[in-house]
Amino acid sequence: MVDMITSINGAINGFVWGVPMMILIVGTGVYLTVFTGFLQFRKFGYTMKNTIGKCFQKVEAKAGAVTPVQALTTALAATVGTGNIAGVCGAIALGGPGAVFWMWVSALFGMCTKFSEVTLAIKYRERNKHGDWVGGPMYYIKNGLGPKWKWLGCVFAVFGMLAAFGIGNMTQVNTIATTIGTAITEFVPLSDSSLKTLYLVIGVLVMLLVGCVLLGGLKRIGSVTEKLVPVMALIYIVGSLIVIFAHAGNIIPTFKNIFVGAFNPEAVMGGVLGTSIAQAVKSGVGRGLFSNEAGLGSAPIAHAAAETDNPVKQGLFGIFEVFADTIVICSLTGLTVLCSGIAVPYGESGVGADLSISAFTTVFGGKAAGVVIAIGLTLFALSTVLSWGLYGTRCCEFLFGHKVIKPYQIIFCLFMVVGATMDLGLAWDIADTLNGLMAIPNLVGLLGLSPVVFKLTRDYFRKQSTLAR
């Protein structure tokens, strides 16, 4: 039975994370980019000024909403996760240094995709029974494409509700438990039974912590992510920069390998059999999409709760979100590994955070490197659980109404203990598939409502130009 499930899931996964789907997602980004006048490039300075530039301004949100920055950090909490470390390392191992280049390409177009998703989420959001703003693909499909398309919104919600238990819960808590366990065993040897007990304790602690935040509602989630995301990002960014500049002599050769490897992988991978441009593209684009989630439709659920007077204004935060996740954090992981001079097992699958730990070891030493990565991964994974708890809740609420919110959240929290103590190989694969399946109904909604995005964008910047005169 397990073998059959594995086989079926493998076939579906090969499609949803395969080349055709990647072409569709990136192609959607290219289409949106062209018809918004290359917005993410043309208005990049304006975007940074009106997103990160306003992070330190004091803004109050009304009842049922969070501030624009809290909406951003809640979405970033989900996108900045284990994929930023383990996923990037795996992409480099399979696609070579050139995978980083193709990761950048997917992100540059993904910025406009995320901008469009967030803009539509604000345009077509609703108030729920508790007075909270709710939105996302299921709402802009139903309210934008029309009631006859509600079934497609339900399809997205089903995939999102189920994916939350895997990609946003059990696999993340399992990463927290095993990473902390590995770091502790560097200092205190533990038997297998002691490790399992430790994993259980960690699972219970994470459950209690997340439960206190998640059950506290939208504003509590926003207030926690607002503080957690900058701290976790700063710790990882500083640590990565220390490693990179400790190997400053390798920075220029590394960038050369990235650009050469993008079009001639074998030239920088030692002639590893089976390497090709297609493999570099697939590895880079695939992991980039998995990390920043542009086109998957998850982040708009968080952004829909933002206190804002214009959809495009919040949409700009979507551009910044992809920039921060992929261009900044994923790039730092790639540069850390490639600049450190460690031996990369090119052509091998299953390569993950261990590669990043090895890179950090070259500067911090084995024990300290394990602690740094453990802290980074733990914070990344914990923030992902919080955000996906919200995503799953909103999807479940769309399907079954507001009365299921608390029961769903309690069940979601209980699964954290299961995740901390299980071998999650198949669970991770299924969650990965469900996560990818969310893209299909979302892309239909995005493409169908793209004229709305174009009009809103034109009107907003025309107004800004008039005000500037």
In this predicted model, what pLDDT tens digit does every residue of 390-437 receive, in sequence order?
899 999 999 998 889 899 999 999 988 888 887 666 666 777 788 788
β-pairing verdict for 133-134 and 126-127: antiparallel
In whole angstroms, give the CA distance from residue 181 to residue 202.
9
- The answer to whether 159 and 437 are in contact (CB under 8 A) is yes
pLDDT at 285: 78
Quote the mean pLDDT of the chain: 84
d(CA 15, CA 62): 43
Distance CA 131, CA 33 (A): 35
pLDDT at 381 over 90: no
How much is the pTM? 0.88
Domains: count for the chain: 1
Spatial CA neighbour of 392 closest among 172, 109, 82: 172
Percent of the chain with pLDDT over 90: 32
What is the distance of C-alpha 130 from the center of its chain? 28
Q: What residues form DSSP beta bridges with 126? A: 134
What is the domain range of residue 414? 2-468
Tell me: pLDDT of 85 over 80: no
| Amino acid present at 425 | G
With CA atoms as reference, report the closest residue to 323 among 40, 26, 121, 28: 40
What's the token pair of residue 51? 């997103």
Q: Is the pLDDT of residue 454 over 60?
A: yes
CATH of the domain at 219: 1.20.1740.10
Q: Do 337 and 106 form a contact (C-beta atoms < 8 A)?
A: no
Helix (H) or strand (E) holding 261: helix 251-263
Residue 428: what pLDDT? 67
Over residues 148-165, the mean pLDDT reads: 93
Q: Report which secondary-structure segment, H or E, holds 448.
A: helix 439-448
Give every CB contact of residue 32 below 8 A, 6+ residues apart in sequence: 109, 112, 113, 115, 116, 446, 450, 453
Other C-beta atoms within 10 Å of 460: how many? Answer: 17
d(CA 225, CA 84): 17
Give me the phi and psi of 269, to 5 degrees please: -110, 15
Distance (Å) of CA 140 to CA 69, 150, 154, 302, 441: 22, 9, 12, 14, 11
Span 42-71, average pLDDT = 76
Q: List beta partners, residue 134.
A: 126
Dist CA 156 CA 361 (whole Å): 42
Per-residue pLDDT, 247:
93
Report how far Cα 463 is from the mean position of its chain's Cα atoms: 32
Structure-block tokens of residue 36: 């918004």
The model's pLDDT over 280-308, given as tens digits with 9 standing for 90+, comes to 777 777 777 777 888 889 889 989 988 88
- Residue 333 predicted with pLDDT over 70: yes
Rounded average pLDDT over 261-280: 67
Residue 411 is predicted with a pLDDT of: 92
Q: For residues 206-235, give the mean pLDDT.
A: 82
Q: What's the pLDDT tens digit per position in 115-149?
A: 999 999 999 999 988 888 899 999 999 999 999 99
Q: How many angstroms from the chain centroid is the CA of residue 167?
A: 10
**In whole angstroms, what is the distance from residue 103 CA to residue 213 CA?**
33
